[in-house]
Amino acid sequence: MLRSPRIDWVEAGVVSPVVRNQKSCGCCWAMAAAASVEAIHILKTSQKISLSVQELIDCDYNNDGCWGGFSILALRYIQKNGLSSESSYPYKARRSICKKDKSVAARI
């Protein structure tokens, strides 16, 4: 029986070993989507990037911000709109008004 090669994505530098803290905001769906796109971005460009979870909380109206949501819907939002960097749209752990003047750091 042939075994497929094992890839440790943390060791390869594609996935961060650091776990993001949601604090009091139920946004695991947004964190998962942002982390997925960060990994895709690294694989495509070899450049690490930290993407904005807060943009998804504030601007993805198909999900419910800090009250929950679905990563697949967040990925659809990112397909349509792209996603800002964490530094340009930082995490606040609460839903705020969507920033209209955001710059796109990554697309899928």
pLDDT in tens, 7-26: 888 888 888 878 889 999 99
Query: In a 10 Å sphere around its CB, with 0-12 CB exposed, 13-18 middle and 19+ buried, how is residue 14 labelled?
Result: middle
89 assigned to some structural domain: yes
Give the pLDDT confidence of 28-76 residue by residue, as tens digits.
999 999 999 999 999 999 999 999 999 999 999 999 999 999 999 999 9
| Structural domains of the chain, count | 1
Q: Is residue 11 part of a domain?
A: no
Q: Is residue 8 part of a domain?
A: no
The parent domain of residue 71 ranges over: 23-108
Q: Give domain status of residue 33, yes or no.
A: yes
> Is 74 part of a structural domain of the chain?
yes
Query: Is residue 100 situated within a structural domain?
Result: yes
CATH number, position 70: 3.90.70.10
Residue 13, in any domain of the structure: no
- The answer to whether residue 9 is domain-embedded is no
Q: Can you list the pairs that 69-78 forms with residues at least 24 positions away whose Cβ atoms lie under 8 Å?
A: 69/27, 69/29, 69/30, 70/29, 71/29, 71/30, 71/32, 71/33, 71/36, 73/29, 74/29, 74/30, 74/32, 74/33, 74/34, 75/33, 75/36, 75/37, 75/108, 78/33, 78/37, 78/106, 78/107, 78/108
pLDDT digits (tens, 9 = 90+) for 63-82: 999 999 999 999 999 999 99
